[in-house]
């Protein structure tokens, strides 16, 4: 059980971007117990007082689409086309990954995310037991979706393993949620995607799936099925359950009729720019869908900061639409907060009874000072060094700028694994892009 903590004398920025002076936050049992004036909090006893004078307190961030174990492959596939990135680099190296690689890749990713103010992430990968163990060990929250490739020779085994994993672990830990992760319509063709969606419904969980990532995927889907990937997912019942749509970069205006409020899109613009995937349609369609931000895998985006992704999205959106007055900081902030609604951990609000997943910011630093508008300072100027504390369920996982845990030991293990990965080299992947 977390300690009773009073965050005192800070300035609150809520989930809507409102700046609120004179409010102290009492955290108890992992939740926001009370919001108090400075005068009211003076009489609160039997708690740890954390002085936030001159600091800002906000809800934390969610990384809505990640392949966290891929942190172990950060930097291994640079300056190549998207086809070469998948087929010559990532899939062949992934084919030889071991459970320890996945575990330490996830631990490393979790530490980086906590440092960047992320308290929950939606993961899409294999070796899900190793991911789950890493999440438990680091204290971060995660929504874990075991990846399922419908075209793989062991598809049946993958689906059974994912179902068994969910049956065994769902609801066991308050900081984890589980769902199924069909890779994409083009890798789970025909009845296989429908079968996975039905399995998710039977288990009472959602899905996490890549959809319409590239223009080529959409064109191939239209040639093969006469339908866009979004329509294929719709006809399989994918929007009848909670759905995280990874990317959706080339979702069309005509696709909107298939999409409902069960779906949240996770935009990862750094990946799109790095792999030259184009601007797609998301900048024009953003007001018609629920969306937030992910980081994809560190092998493509290199960093695990939804805030950085949101900044790139805002700046690129202003540029390609020619509208410098659009994509306002308050709108981008609220889109960041949408990640909390997608994962349903009861986080993301400064409200009594909500889970205490909070950030404390120091904006009196050279990169953010002077502060005219704190929200704009965070969106456009800040980085991880401005985050003083990261709190998950009332527990500090970053305190006074330092991460909890044996960071040095993790880095040593990851360095050793990197050498083993290079020595093993590439293998034959189960799937091609």
The mean pLDDT value of the chain amounts to 95
Of 159, 81, 74, which Cα lies nearest the Cα of 111? Answer: 74
Determine the pLDDT at residue 1: 46
For residue 2, pLDDT beyond 80: no
Determine the pLDDT at residue 77: 86
Confidence of residue 43 (pLDDT cuts 50, 70, 90): confident
Which residue's entry shows tokens 């001159």? 54
pTM (2 d.p.):
0.96
**Rg of the chain over all Cα atoms, to the nearest angstrom:** 21
355 burial via Cβ count (<10 Å: 0-12, 13-18, 19+): buried
Taking only the tens place, the pLDDT of each residue in 72-130 is 999 998 888 888 988 888 889 988 899 999 999 999 999 999 999 999 999 999 999 99
- What phi and psi values does residue 275 have, to the nearest 5 degrees? -95, 15
Determine the pLDDT at residue 431: 64
Confidence of residue 217 (pLDDT cuts 50, 70, 90): very high
Taking only the tens place, the pLDDT of each residue in 403-423 is 998 999 999 999 999 999 999
Determine the pLDDT at residue 430: 65
Q: How many helices (H) and strands (E) does the chain have?
A: 16, 20
For residue 374, pLDDT beyond 70: yes
Which residues sit opposite 144 in a β-bridge?
123, 178
Distances (CA, A) of 404 to 112, 115, 302, 311, 359: 12, 10, 22, 27, 15
Cα dihedral sign, 34-37-39-42: positive
Determine the pLDDT at residue 432: 63
Helices (DSSP H) in 38-127: which residue ranges? 38-41, 82-84, 91-94, 99-115
Domains and CATH numbers, the chain: 5-59+348-403 (2.30.40.10), 61-343 (3.20.20.140)
Determine the pLDDT at residue 298: 87
* CA atoms of 201 and 190, how far apart (whole Å): 18
For the residues 234-254, what does the mean pLDDT come to?
A: 97
For the residues 286-309, what does the mean pLDDT come to?
A: 95
Question: In this structure, what token pair is assigned to residue 245?
Answer: 């749509």
Confidence of residue 176 (pLDDT cuts 50, 70, 90): very high
Determine the pLDDT at residue 427: 84
For the residues 363-392, what does the mean pLDDT come to?
A: 98
Taking only the tens place, the pLDDT of each residue in 332-355 is 999 999 999 999 999 999 999 999
For residue 190, pLDDT beyond 50: yes
Share of the chain above pLDDT 70, in %: 98
For residue 155, pLDDT beyond 50: yes
For residue 136, pLDDT beyond 80: yes
23 burial via Cβ count (<10 Å: 0-12, 13-18, 19+): buried
């Amino acid at each position: 059980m977390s300690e009773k903590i009073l965050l005192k004398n800070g300035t609150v920025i809520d989930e809507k971007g409102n700046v609120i002076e004179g409010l102290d936050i009492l955290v108890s049992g992992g939740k926001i117990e009370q919001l108090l004036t400075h005068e009211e909090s003076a009489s609160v006893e039997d708690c740890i007082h954390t002085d936030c004078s001159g600091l800002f307190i906000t809800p934390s961030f969610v990384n809505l689409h990640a392949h966290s174990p891929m942190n172990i492959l950060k930097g291994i596939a640079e300056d190549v086309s998207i086809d070469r990135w998948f087929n010559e680099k990532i899939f062949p190296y992934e084919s030889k990954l071991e459970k320890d690689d996945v575990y330490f890749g996830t631990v490393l990713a979790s530490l980086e995310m906590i440092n960047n103010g992320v308290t929950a992430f939606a993961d899409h990968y294999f070796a899900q037991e190793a991911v789950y163990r890493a999440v438990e060990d680091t204290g971060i929250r995660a929504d874990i979706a075991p990846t399922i490739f419908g075209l793989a020779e062991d598809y049946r085994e993958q689906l059974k393993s994912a179902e068994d994993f969910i049956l065994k672990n769902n609801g066991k830990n308050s900081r984890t949620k589980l769902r199924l992760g069909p890779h994409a319509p083009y890798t789970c063709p025909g009845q296989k995607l429908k079968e996975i969606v039905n399995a998710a419904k039977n288990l009472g969980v959602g899905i996490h799936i890549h959809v319409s990532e590239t223009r080529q995927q959409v064109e191939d889907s239209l040639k093969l099925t006469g339908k866009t990937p979004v329509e294929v997912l719709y006809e399989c019942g994918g929007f009848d359950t909670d759905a995280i749509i990874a990317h959706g970069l080339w979702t069309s205006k005509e696709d909107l009729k298939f999409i409902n409020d069960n779906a949240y899109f996770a935009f990862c613009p750094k990946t799109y720019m790095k792999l030259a995937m184009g601007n797609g349609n998301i900048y024009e369609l953003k007001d018609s869908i629920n969306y937030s931000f992910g980081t994809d895998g560190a092998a493509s985006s290199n960093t695990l900061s939804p805030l950085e992704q949101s900044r790139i999205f805002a700046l690129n959106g202003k540029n390609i639409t020619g509208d410098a007055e659009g994509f306002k900081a308050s709108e981008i902030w609220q889109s960041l907060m949408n990640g909390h609604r997608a994962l349903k951990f009861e986080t993301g609000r400064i409200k009594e009874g909500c889970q205490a997943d909070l950030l404390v910011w120091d904006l009196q630093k050279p990169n953010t000072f002077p502060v005219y508008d704190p929200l704009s300072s965070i969106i456009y100027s800040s980085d991880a060094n401005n985050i003083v504390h990261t709190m998950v369920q009332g527990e500090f996982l970053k305190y006074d700028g330092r991460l909890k845990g044996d960071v040095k030991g993790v880095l040593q293990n990851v360095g050793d694994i990197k050498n083993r990965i290079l020595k093993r080299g590439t293998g034959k992947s189960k799937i091609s892009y």
